[in-house]
Structure 1
């Protein structure tokens, strides 16, 4: 897959893709006539990078994970430790988002109640749909 296609697929700028390669998050991407041609393995790495970034993992930690991966099976425990740390951070983010969503629902109910009070006070009754 050409760099323009990868850019569109993942909504990443060309410079971001080149940067990921420059800092070693992506291995050297094969080129055909000077144009980067991303393999399925490259795309899999991009999926991992974006997932981990989405969870709040730093590029440095993602790079560390890939470095450990390259070192082989003797680093499995250390890679698992990195993933567990990120799991904990992601759970914390989810809990914060859940609390935020609950607060939004609370404020929506209050606002809906205020709308009903206002409409009742002004003599407006919302017509039932489908009756």
Structure 2
């Protein structure tokens, strides 16, 4: 193996992916280049493969489906001339991530409001549940009925 070549175990350590996952990614066409084999038939990776896999980890963390990563990898493997297709794919995923972030920000706003409510509630020495409205018992019964 040349100095720049990496074994599957070394790639697993560098990317945080398991050896099993690396083999799965290869079978599913998620790598942007063909994995070479040494004279003994063992997989040989390059630094570029590690960089690509690091991108794949981030794509997966952002919710990109394996089929989309596979399509992107296929476009990269095909070489120059399909950059518009790659851009479209990435823009679509960017839209998805932006929508996901908006939903998460809405959730975070709710959580922040509730944290502030409980902090004020406890700092004031209050008892009871600050989430429940304070109503008279008969008013509560009327609202339920």
TM class, shorter-length: 0.7 to 0.9
Structure 2 match to 1:3: 8
SS for the counterpart of 1:118 is: coil
TM-score normalised over the length of structure 2: 0.72
Give the gaps of 5 or more residues in structure 1: 120-131
The correspondence of residues 47-66 of structure 1 with structure 2, limited to 5 A, is 47-66=54-73
Moved over 6 A (4+): none
Structure 2 match to 1:12: 17
Give the gaps of 5 or more residues in structure 2: 1-5, 127-145
Question: Relative to structure 1, is the Cα distance of residues 77 and 18 closer, same or farther in structure 2, using a 3 angstrom cutoff?
Answer: same
TM-score normalised over the length of structure 1: 0.79
The structure whose RCO (Cα within 8 Å, separation 6+) is larger is 2
Number of aligned positions between the proteins:
120
Structure 1 stretch displaced more, 6-15 or 27-36: 27-36
Shift of 1:32: 6.2
Question: Relative to structure 1, is the Cα distance of residues 73 and 37 closer, same or farther in structure 2, using a 3 angstrom cutoff?
Answer: closer
Q: Which has the higher helix share?
A: 1
1:103 equivalent among 94, 110, 116: 110
Cα RMSD over matched residues? 2.1
Q: Deviations over 1:17-53 (max 9, x none)?
A: 0111122212224436444332111112202211211
Structure 1 match to 2:119: 112
2:85 equivalent among 71, 78, 95: 78
Structure 1 match to 2:46: 39
Q: Rg bigger for which structure?
A: 2
CA contact (8 A) 2:35 2:44 kept: no
SS for the counterpart of 1:74 is: coil
